[in-house]
Amino acid sequence: MEKVTVGLVKGRHEMPVSEYIFDQIEDVLDFDSMNEHILNFLRERVGVKVNAGCGINQAYLGDVDVFKGERELVCYVTGLTAATASLVALCAANGIRLSLMHYDRDTDSYKEQLLF
């Protein structure tokens, strides 16, 4: 599956990417605005379609219509918990395979955390 690799917020830390979900966040407590911005990014850059399959927390074993990301998202995170939480929730709701990249001070590199 094709990957889209981005940073969460531009200018907060050095990251090995050229594209960011946010250039800046004016108000980290404006969750509605943040969610809308992330959802637009996911629809435009990652792509979301409807497929038959199983939902993330589905009890019924048969296939139902579910959202599925067209590409995998790899995101270098910056420590803004509210923005990271919004990204995780929206990827889960839209069936997008998500890996977060966390900075490791001991090795001066990033470590991957595959969420789903």
> Has residue 99 got a pLDDT over 90?
yes
Write out pLDDT tens, residues 2-39.
Answer: 999 999 999 878 899 999 999 999 999 999 999 999 99
Which tokens is 39 given? 């959802």
**Higher pLDDT pick, 15 / 79:** 15
Write out pLDDT tens, residues 41-77.
Answer: 999 999 988 988 888 787 888 888 888 999 999 999 9
> Distance between CA 15 and CA 102 in Å, rounded?
10
Write out pLDDT tens, residues 102-114.
Answer: 999 999 899 999 9
Any idea what DSSP says for residue 13? S
Residue 40 — pLDDT band, cuts 50, 70, 90? Answer: very high
Look at residues 112, 91, 109 and name the one whose alpha carbon lies nearest to residue 45.
91
Q: With a threshold of 0.85, does the pTM exceed it?
A: yes
